[in-house]
Structure 1
Amino acid sequence: MQKHPLIEQLIEAHLDFLEQEFSHTATLQNEFLNFYQWFRKQSLQALWSFEQLNALLQKQILATPASHSLIEQITEHLRFALIHPINESTAIAEVIPVSTVDKIAQYVAGKSDHRQRLIKTVVNSPAFSAMISQLIQHAIQDYLNNSVMAKRVPGVSQFMKMGKSVLESVTDSNLEQTIGHYLQKNILKLSQMSEHVLNQHFDNDKLYHFQANLWHKIKDLPLSRLKNYIEVADLSDTVGLGHEIWDHMRQTEYLKQQLHDGIYTWYTRHQAHSFDVLLRDLNIDEALIQDELQQLLTPIIQKMVSSEYLRTRARVYLEKFYYAESTQQILKTHA
């Protein structure tokens, strides 16, 4: 492309003008706010369709695996939070409001129907039945072998052993088998008794006070106590396991459908809303734009101007404009 002296002068003058204008903070602030005033009045459906949003989120959330670097950063942030020195001087009550704890306690205690269904499910499970049976058997055997009375009263130990042998001779089996057989026949009754006892022990009032007492025991403990229950050295493994679960879930048709339907429901509800309303739902309003986001972006644009990035990129388009046939025709006409 042959350079034209007049066009080159116009391009340089144009670039000088842009550089001077955008070097002023007031210009950047004004343009930023004007853009926001335009953007906030646009409706969601006027700019983006459901298909565009769904494709973007499906790709970025589900189709894109978490990088090794991201997983390492998550691990490092968790480790840093757990070992931070301020945990030693900060009590649990300082970061968790007591009013919220009380609301949670009332909420949990008030869910009696849910709690009773959970207890019923647990006590009727084979694992619970086996555990109760083993506990009873061990308790009886331990009592016969280590009874306080048998140890302290002369002759009682021998008497209990004799009673045990008589029972075994009558039933033609050892005591453990006899007790096990009895428990197996009566496990339904034991489960019902367990359910009744648990429901009595965990009624609304008792459960609420249990939670309240637990809170009073732990509220003054330092946050550093968390290290007693979380292995800091194992964070790489635990975060890795969490990532494995997510990495599998993100590839399932189940999660793809959930995300699709969730986006569709949200989009249908908000498609006619302006971005002003949508941003306000995210706690972003004009004050935030003006006071914070604008201050964050202004230095970036100023850096673009001072480093001549803006001048270099603008020249590309100005050359296209000034050397375009239609523009050169105008210049020839007015020469």
Structure 2
Amino acid sequence: MNGLIEAQVAFMQQWLSSQAEPLAMQAWQWFGAQSFSQYVSHEDLQHLMNDWLLSQPMSEMMRADIRDILHTIIYHPVNDDVPLSELIDDSQIDTLANYIGSHEQQRNILIHSLIGNDTFADLLTQTLHHAINDFMETTLDKAGGVGKLMKLGRSSFEKATNRNLDDKLQAYLHRNIKDLTRRAETNAQAHLSNEEVARLLITGWARIKDEPISQLQAYLSDEPDNNSIDLIEASVQHSYNRLRLSPYLQSLVTASVKTWYHQHQSDSFATLALGLNIDTQAMTALSTALLPLAHDAISSDFFTDHIREMLHAFYAQPDIKQSLTSGIS
């Protein structure tokens, strides 16, 4: 009996090895023809997204891989010889410029947010105030006796008016700068017409489009203690970890999964795969590439032991034993 089992094990391994590639393609054809919704429900997808993908942070291995790949892409020597226009062509810039130029209301809101808001005025006031103070202090220190006389005059002014000169200067700047920012906002909205905005974007792009992609490296740091890629990746991870369990993101995921499932519930697995450009030709190439792995798996001790165990269990069944005994007799 053991000899028979060993012969069957060898035959099965030889047969499976010779048929591995056509079997793989037949299995794919059968799988591709099956209806997606017959095996995967809307609830299954929701469970996959919420209880598995979003319930755990990205692994450290994957994070390290992302950082390494980004570093390779950004600092690859080929970037020295490839212009920015390889990433974005002129037609894209023209489309973007015309789109931005045609949205006057949104542009005015953006101008107000950048120029006309109080935060910008306060920031500009403080910057000018510090600059003037620094200039005055530096100038007076270098002016010798004249500087001392001017400081005395300042002190006398503050005593006479009961006002701090710094406070008065800051109030003056704040009042006038607010008016200045309002005028700047009005001028910007008046002069930045639809055509002018489009022209500025197009001419700005024309000035930089022939620069090598490696110029972007100037805005990044590759120092070990201040690595831009590490900081960006860590910031994205922080946002992801904060959002992935939030009711906000889960609501969006739930709605997105529902929309996607509704669109594709009548599709077969092959149709879904085709959306990822995976067709029969791609599967043929993949099965050919994986053929050595299939052969190694079929001839492995693990697979051999399982076949042998299965055959022993088969021949150990009472009815099989009886059939064999009857046949022999």
TM-score normalised to structure 1 length: 0.76
1:254: how far off?
Answer: 2.2
Q: Name which of 307, 311, 316 aligns with 1:318.
A: 311
- Any idea what the Cα deviations from partners look like across 1:96-119, whole Å, max 9, x if unmatched? 333333333333333333222222
Q: Name which of 208, 218, 221 aligns with 1:218.
A: 208
1:124: how far off?
Answer: 4.6
Q: Name which of 65, 68, 75 aligns with 1:73.
A: 65
Q: Report the more deviating stretch, 66-75 or 192-201.
A: 192-201
- Give secondary structure in 2 for the equivalent of 1:23: helix
Which residue number in structure 1 is paired with residue 190 of structure 2? 200
Taking the aligned partners of 2:6 and 2:300, their CA distance within structure 1 comes to: 16
Taking the aligned partners of 2:318 and 2:89, their CA distance within structure 1 comes to: 70
| Percentage of identical aligned residues | 27
The answer as to whether partners of 2:101 and 2:195 remain within 8 angstroms in 1 is yes
Letter in 2 for 1:271: Q
Which residue number in structure 2 is paired with residue 255 of structure 1? 249
Q: Name which of 260, 270, 274 aligns with 2:268.
A: 274
Q: 1:138 to 1:33 in 2, by over 3 A?
A: same
Q: 1:332 to 1:105 in 2, by over 3 A?
A: farther
1:295 and 2:288 are equivalent in the alignment: yes
- Give secondary structure in 1 for the equivalent of 2:277: coil
The answer as to whether partners of 2:122 and 2:174 remain within 8 angstroms in 1 is no
Which residue number in structure 2 is paired with residue 158 of structure 1? none
1:20: how far off?
Answer: 1.3
Which residue number in structure 2 is paired with residue 48 of structure 1? 40
- Give secondary structure in 2 for the equivalent of 1:267: helix
1:228: how far off?
Answer: 0.5
1:140: how far off?
Answer: 10
1:312: how far off?
Answer: 2.9
Which residue number in structure 2 is paired with residue 153 of structure 1? none
The answer as to whether partners of 2:54 and 2:245 remain within 8 angstroms in 1 is yes
1:30 and 2:10 are equivalent in the alignment: no
Q: Report the more deviating stretch, 309-318 or 71-80.
A: 309-318
After TM superposition, list the pairs within 5 Å mapping 1:239-250 onto structure 2: 239-250=233-244
Q: Supply the RMSD in Å over aligned alpha carbons.
A: 3.6
Letter in 2 for 1:245: S
Taking the aligned partners of 1:221 and 1:252, their CA distance within structure 2 comes to: 42
Letter in 2 for 1:284: I
1:21: how far off?
Answer: 1.8
- Any idea what the Cα deviations from partners look like across 1:235-287, whole Å, max 9, x if unmatched? 33332232222222223232223222321221122112111221111111122
1:237 and 2:231 are equivalent in the alignment: yes
1:229: how far off?
Answer: 0.5
- Any idea what the Cα deviations from partners look like across 1:62-110, whole Å, max 9, x if unmatched? 1122222222222222222222222222222234333333333333333
The answer as to whether partners of 1:123 and 1:191 remain within 8 angstroms in 2 is yes
Q: 1:305 to 1:325 in 2, by over 3 A?
A: same
1:191: how far off?
Answer: 5.1
Q: Tell me how many residue pairs correspond in the alignment.
A: 306
Q: 1:78 to 1:184 in 2, by over 3 A?
A: closer
The answer as to whether partners of 1:82 and 1:232 remain within 8 angstroms in 2 is no
Q: 1:216 to 1:184 in 2, by over 3 A?
A: closer
Which residue number in structure 1 is paired with residue 110 of structure 2? 118
Q: 1:253 to 1:320 in 2, by over 3 A?
A: farther
Q: Name which of 8, 11, 17 aligns with 1:14.
A: 8
- Any idea what the Cα deviations from partners look like across 1:106-137, whole Å, max 9, x if unmatched? 33333333222222344453202324556788
Which residue number in structure 1 is paired with residue 150 of structure 2? none
Identify unmatched segments of 5+ residues in structure 2: 134-153
TM-score normalised to structure 2 length: 0.77
Letter in 1 for 2:89: P
- Give secondary structure in 2 for the equivalent of 1:40: helix
Identify unmatched segments of 5+ residues in structure 1: 142-164
- Give secondary structure in 1 for the equivalent of 2:33: coil
Taking the aligned partners of 2:317 and 2:45, their CA distance within structure 1 comes to: 37
Letter in 1 for 2:259: T
Taking the aligned partners of 2:102 and 2:292, their CA distance within structure 1 comes to: 54
Taking the aligned partners of 1:254 and 1:326, their CA distance within structure 2 comes to: 62
The answer as to whether partners of 1:45 and 1:271 remain within 8 angstroms in 2 is yes
